[in-house]
Structure 1
Amino acid sequence: MKQYIHIGLDDIDSPYGGCTTHFASLILVELIKKFRVEPIDYPNIIRLNPAVPWKTRGNGSLALRFRINNYSVDEVFEYVINRLYDYLNEYSKNWSIHSQPVVSILTGEPPAEITWFSKKAIQDLVPLDLALRIASKVEGFKFKALTGKNRGLIGSMAGIGYRMIDTDYTYELIAYRDPSYIGSVRKVNEYSVKKMDQLYGEETILNYDYEIDKPLILPKGPDPVLLGIRGERSDILYEAFKTLDIDEPVPLIVLFRTNQHTDAHLREVSSIANIHPYMCIKVRGVVSRKPRRIVGGHVVFSITDNSGSIDVVAYEPTGGFRNIIEELEVGDVVEVMGITRPKHSGLRLTINLEKIRVVEVRQKTIYQNPLCPKCGVRMKSAGRGKGFKCIKCGYADKKLTKIVVETTRKLQPGYYEPPPRVFKHLMKPLKRIGKEKSFFPKEYRPINFIWMNGSIFA
């Protein structure tokens, strides 16, 4: 009898090596070969709350979804656990000190408790004991913590529960390095990345930052990833990849479906009073304190609603985005999007600004001295209650008053975003507005999504 299986993986990577997507890719290939599993979705990358202080590098979990036949769930589960031990010992130095990897498995469709938990883990801070309580109650769910510590349960359970069948999603092609190259400079021609972006930029996401003339698809750490190309359609990513000039072996390429660049982390809150640390929020307010630069080059302003006020910070790495923020005036209505941080560095509870929507700009009124009706020169005040006098021709008039002028604001209503280089995994670029998706089948057999040594494997 065929059974539906969901495997969740988390906390496999560390600063010293290893990568959750890499292990997921390798084990999926092995499961297809050894157990003849039938995938019902692309492998999923689920990015979780980026505000969590103890997150891994990208705070991402992995989910593999497939049918099995002629093998038991326990056989598959034990095989994945044993192969993960092998992987960590090979790729991650002192992994038991630096990470808390967990493998979770669920038979059947994720129940409401797990789908609720997954959304909460993307938008808010979730305690480990909540994950443990849910794990103990859900029939068909079990997990293995490889170090005996359970932190990775949060991500592995959230990955299983976030199916993206009625939410927005994107795709990512990840190319992996030959083990002998890991730790060395990635041999990808940067000009070819720019060329690829010019050819496929409409259907791909954040390939290149033209402001600093740097590619964004190449990671920096000692992990096994060579590069990652993100986009709207699965079929276009391999075509884009083939245009790159790469001077090292690429033994494995895998296509993932993911919640990256969807703003899935942003939760709309009705009032500032409902905001607490480590949330990912979207909130509307009125600018109550004009933006100012502080030590470090960061720009801070405050917004208020009828429940309270909060500081908003555009940090120095956002570059020219800060100049836009400095155009805000007291009284402007804005919608700010970002993650919240507790009191720090002399600041109170703050929102780290990811994007801003200027809803309404307050008209700026200035008062000017009148022009001389005889010679056209700007007049000067003759004293309180004495009107104005022209210093050129001597004309004076006690009845003249200042002229009220409504100026046009440089800042106009609309969305504004920082430069590509500071985008985090979940932040949605403005170019994606209108491209959002809202449906994916519960059961879908992907094809042409795994390449091994240049040939299609599955």
Structure 2
Amino acid sequence: MEKHHGIKLDTEKMIIGIDDTDSNEGMCTTYLGALLLEELQEYGTVEALPLLVRLNPTIPYKTRGNAAVALKLKTDCPEKVIAHVTSRIGELARMECEKTNPGAVFILEKDYETLKPVLMSFLEEAVKEVIEIDNAKDLISELGIASKSFKNGRGIIGALAACGAMLNPEKWDCTFEYLAYRQKEKWGTQRDVDKDSFFEADRETYPETWDTVDLTNRLVVCVPRSGDPVLFGIRGENPEIVSKAAALIRAEPVERFAVYRTNQGTDMHLLPAQNIAEIRDMHSYRLEGTVSTAPKTIEGGHVIFAVLDREGDEIDCAAFEPTKNFRYLIRKLVPGDRVILSGSVTSGTLNIEKIELKALTPVYREENPKCPECGKHMKSAGQGQGFRCKKCGTMSLSKVKYEAERDLEPGLYEVPPCARRHLAKPLARDKRQDIRLHPAR
């Protein structure tokens, strides 16, 4: 555990960042945040909504959703706050999990202005890039930031990023999530929820809320399946609308809830790719190119095709099986279609989150000519002898080429809610007027 760095104990305001307390099997960093919201009132006043920040979704050593939290507090006893937060992390974090490496940082008011630009850059890097633990530790040492780390301390990366978000609320697009938590004795058991109530809540509040349900696949998507404390989470444009939707849910008793300000549903993770040569694994991009191979379905139901850029480089793109009905759209692509793809790259393959069809290439078919007398299609008159209408006796030398109608139209399409990543911006939030949207409803 690291020692405190440069703390002035008479300060009145502070920001607390926490990350990496959960595991694949249970616990949730947002639950710890919600718990601390209540407990820290013993030491002061919470000044703003808590923050939930999703980081780079491609990081292989993440536990589940790669989320960090931040709290803003007014207090006369920051040393007691630090001790309490540290103690609660030690009690609740799933330390037995190899991937769980908690970290916490504490930013004091006297340092707000100095750290604002530095930690905003760090936030953007943590969402878009790959940061090593040593880089975060060096930054903490260089800036004299108070910190605590457990095991290898990887959580200080997310903790610093969450503090950067809290320091710069006007610098990033935000959404909100209402998170309801289960009573502790229920953790690890099947959740008791009325599925119909989620569809009712969606009808009442969509499109100001989204990803509550997946209408096409008839699934409730805001209820997790793992053994963590979350009962459900409602995402939306403002605190009022997510609270309205949550009030319509019928489910087992709730221990507590919290409304978080988040970067979910913002596309904050996407980098613009000028060409395929600059694309790297463990990053997410928006890439324009031309379909160069026909989509094919491989084992497991995944649909793969290639896209070519202006320099002649190719990259494989995939609509994986969990994207369900989205794969039907992808199978309709043909070489020559102009597309803009959004998604994350792993093992050299771009996992599609959204696709904009910019221009569809014409597709031509051939058919037997029609008889000018009766309008029926002629039959082959024999090899090399052209075509003849048996009824009228009319003749034609060759088949007729025509442009086929494509069961597809230009526009912006997305994967269904059941396959959406936390950071991917749903079309329900897209305010563009220049193209037709095709929400996955």
**What is the correspondence of 1:168-207 to structure 2 with a 5 Å cutoff?**
168-207=173-212
Corresponding residue of 1:36: 44
Corresponding residue of 1:331: 336
Q: Offset at 1:20?
A: 0.5
Residue range with higher mean Cα deviation, 265-274 or 188-197: 188-197
**What is the correspondence of 1:157-306 to structure 2 with a 5 Å cutoff?**
157-162=160-165, 163-248=168-253, 250-306=254-310
Contact 1:299–1:325 (8 Å) recurs in 2: yes
Contact 1:164–1:259 (8 Å) recurs in 2: no
Q: Offset at 1:382?
A: 6.3
Alignment CA distance shift 1:200-1:375 (3 Å): closer
Residue range with higher mean Cα deviation, 402-411 or 14-23: 402-411
Q: Distance in 2 between matches of 1:274 and 1:411?
A: 31
Q: Offset at 1:319?
A: 1.4
Q: Offset at 1:241?
A: 1.9
Contact 1:121–1:158 (8 Å) recurs in 2: yes
Q: Distance in 2 between matches of 1:319 and 1:188?
A: 24
Match of 1:417 among 406, 414, 419: 414
Q: Offset at 1:367?
A: 3.6
Q: In structure 2, what residue type is equivalent to 1:48?
A: L
Q: Distance in 2 between matches of 1:425 and 1:142?
A: 30
How big is each residue's C-alpha offset from its partner over 1:160-210, in whole Å with a ceiling of 9 and x where there is no partner?
113442322111111112222222222222222222222222321111123
SS in 1 for 2:294: strand
Contact 1:114–1:134 (8 Å) recurs in 2: no
Corresponding residue of 1:18: 27
Q: Distance in 1 between matches of 2:291 and 2:181?
A: 46
Q: Offset at 1:423?
A: 1.3
Contact 2:291–2:335 (8 Å) recurs in 1: yes
Contact 2:292–2:335 (8 Å) recurs in 1: yes
Q: Distance in 2 between matches of 1:419 and 1:257?
A: 23
Q: Distance in 2 between matches of 1:377 and 1:218?
A: 57
Count, aligned residues: 416
Q: Offset at 1:387?
A: 6.1
Contact 2:21–2:92 (8 Å) recurs in 1: no
SS in 1 for 2:170: coil
Q: Distance in 2 between matches of 1:238 and 1:374?
A: 69
Q: Distance in 2 between matches of 1:389 and 1:321?
A: 44
Residue range with higher mean Cα deviation, 329-338 or 367-376: 367-376
Corresponding residue of 1:52: 59
Whether 1:103 aligns to 2:109 is no
In the superposition, the TM-score normalised over structure 1's length comes to 0.85
Residue range with higher mean Cα deviation, 298-307 or 109-118: 109-118
Q: Offset at 1:3?
A: 4.4
Alignment CA distance shift 1:229-1:396 (3 Å): closer
**Aligned sequence identity (%):** 35
Contact 1:377–1:392 (8 Å) recurs in 2: no
RMSD: 2.3
Contact 1:47–1:425 (8 Å) recurs in 2: yes
Q: Distance in 1 between matches of 2:309 and 2:382?
A: 42
Residue range with higher mean Cα deviation, 368-377 or 163-172: 368-377
User: Could you list the runs of 5+ residues in structure 1 that have no partner in the other structure?
Assistant: 343-348, 436-458
Corresponding residue of 1:87: 92
SS in 2 for 1:31: helix
Whether 1:63 aligns to 2:70 is yes
Q: Offset at 1:229?
A: 1.2
User: Could you list the runs of 5+ residues in structure 2 that have no partner in the other structure?
Assistant: 1-9, 433-441
Q: In structure 1, what residue type is equivalent to 2:67?
A: G
Q: Offset at 1:277?
A: 0.4
Q: In structure 2, what residue type is equivalent to 1:55?
A: K
Q: In structure 1, what residue type is equivalent to 2:303?
A: V
Q: Distance in 2 between matches of 1:207 and 1:112?
A: 35
Contact 2:46–2:71 (8 Å) recurs in 1: no
Corresponding residue of 1:150: 153
Match of 2:425 among 424, 428, 435: 428
Q: Distance in 1 between matches of 2:97 and 2:328?
A: 45
Corresponding residue of 1:447: none
